[in-house]
Amino acid sequence: MEVLIQNIINALQWGSFYALIALGYTLVYGVLLLINFAHGDIFMVGAYIAFFLVIFMLGNIGLDPGITLALAVPLTMILTSGVGVTLERIAYRPLRRKGAHRLYVVITALMCGLILENGNLALLGASRKRFPELLETTVYRFGDVSVTNLKIIVILAAILVFFFLQFVVTRTKIGMAMRGISYDKFAIPLMGIPVDTVIVFTFILGSGFAGLAGLLFAMSYPVLEPYMGALIGWKAFIAAVVGGIGDIRGAFVGGFLLGFIEIGVVAIFPSTMRDLFAFSILLLILWAKPTGLFGLARHQKI
């Protein structure tokens, strides 16, 4: 029983990371119908930005770890969304303006991801970075179940982000514009909606929360390396699709589902089987429900 609860908490934490990254995929896809393959690497960049910020604030300025954390969260999010928006401006927007085939944008995204990964490797070298400890670990014990404060923060952050985004997308004007663009990108500008602004806003949201995920991830697993974003990014993407890409709820459900599957597999089988099982289960889900759990089948009209 205790083991089960312990695993559920681990799965929630692990799923939170997936969910936070998956929503970046889902937001961009929901608006542009573009798989932003560079998103996993934006997460990685977010973790590195957090790392340099924290080192700078702790070392060069000598701030208190608590204040550092309080400053690092918004700064990381802002800087990471800057990276995302830059990517959109220099790589995706010109293609969109030219009306290029969707596939070319996807390839560009894939290549931008490679540039970020390997550029980082070339700049900073292959040595892994160790993220300094910002938060004094407090362990809460309930019987045999132990929860660290960090885990609670991660899970809470994911839940808060979910409600925030759900509010933005369904209740605000810009959220409605976001949903509108994916349906008809030609009609939307005619309705007086500034498409580019909405798209930039989408990238700000997606990349900002990827930055947050990067920071939290770095705090939880304090070893950074340039390829850390690749695998987790691909997986989060699959999670987003299983949930039904383009739907915020789908991203979170998919993310947590993946978290539960992976932790569940590791609890029963050797940990090397994790990917095999996780991907097989996801494949089966997609097989049964090709548009994901929350995705709506778009009927083709003839």
Sites of contact with another protein (CB under 8 A): 29, 35, 91, 94-95, 98, 100-101, 103-108, 110-112, 114-115, 117-119, 121-122, 230, 234, 237-238, 241, 245, 270, 272-276, 279-280, 282-283, 286-287, 290-292, 300, 302
Nearer to another protein, 26 or 68 (CB): 26
Residue of 205, 240, 54 lying closest to 133 (CA atoms): 54
Q: Please report how close the Cβ of residue 67 comes to another protein at its closest, in angstroms.
A: 36
**CA 42 to CA 205: how far, in whole Å?**
12
Q: Which of 39, 65, 83, 86 is nearest to 232 (CA)?
A: 39
For the CB of residue 118, give the shortest distance to another protein in the complex, in Å.
4
Of residues 96 and 249, the one with the C-beta less far from another protein: 96
Q: Tell the smallest beta-carbon distance from residue 120 to another protein (Å).
A: 9
How large is the angle between the packed helices 149-171 and 195-220, nearest 10 degrees?
170
User: Which amino acid does the sequence have at 48?
Assistant: Y
Query: Is residue 16 within 8 Å of 255, Cβ to Cβ?
Result: yes
Q: Which is nearer to another protein, 33 or 174 (CB)?
A: 33
The label of the residue with tokens 């008809």 reads 184
Q: Which residue, 151 or 235, has its beta carbon nearer to another protein?
A: 235
Rank residues 117 and 247 by Cβ distance to another protein and give the closer one.
117
Nearest distance from C-beta of residue 177 to another protein, angstroms:
22
Question: According to DSSP H, which parts of the chain are helical?
Answer: 2-32, 39-55, 65-87, 93-98, 102-124, 149-171, 173-183, 187-190, 195-220, 228-243, 248-268, 274-288
- Measured from the CB of residue 216, what is the shortest distance to another protein in angstroms? 24
